Structure 1
Amino acid sequence: MDDSSMVGLLGRVTGTVGPGLVGEVIVQIRGGAEHFLAHPAPPGVRIEPGTMVTVIEYLPPRTVYVAPAYDS
């Protein structure tokens, strides 16, 4: 999978993403759902479990930077 194919995908936070934390998100990809380690793309933002996020950057093999997909 190339880096660009992950960018823009939607996921759901399963483990809090935030400053000083390595969170977790699940992303629908390759006909299934996969878990990735996650960091907040906007520095200092805390993203709670259940929040829909957009993948902003992908660092192979299993790390993504995410931002909330919708304004709350």
Structure 2
Amino acid sequence: MVGELGRVTGTVGPGLVGEVMVKVRGGAEAFLAYAVEPGGRLERGTVVVIVEYQPPRTVYVAPAYG
């Protein structure tokens, strides 16, 4: 899971529990998402990389590009 790319479908930011869609087993699944950078904000549509995974459905993400 760590290192996989996903797309933000629910804004990730301070005080928010965001959502990221990740391709898994030939489909796409939603994961709860938090920004790895304290105070970071990632808007819907942003492509992100998973930096940390906490089972069963929580990921910490950073922007994949830029």
Aligned equivalent of 2:37:
42
Q: CA deviation at 1:31?
A: 1.2
Secondary structure of residue in 1 paired with 2:7? strand
Aligned equivalent of 1:67:
62
Higher strand share: 2
What are the residue-to-residue correspondences of 1:19-30 with 2, within 5 Å? Answer: 19-30=14-25
1:2-38 deviation digits (Å, cap 9, x = unpaired): xxxx000000000000111100000011111000000
Moved beyond 6 Å, runs of 4+: none
1:19-60 deviation digits (Å, cap 9, x = unpaired): 111000000111110000000011111000000000000000
Aligned residues: CA RMSD: 0.5
Gapped runs of 5+ residues in structure 2? Answer: none
Equivalenced residue count is: 66
Identity of aligned residues (%): 73
Aligned equivalent of 1:8:
3
How many Å separate the matches in 2 of 1:60 and 1:30? Answer: 16
Gapped runs of 5+ residues in structure 1? Answer: 1-5
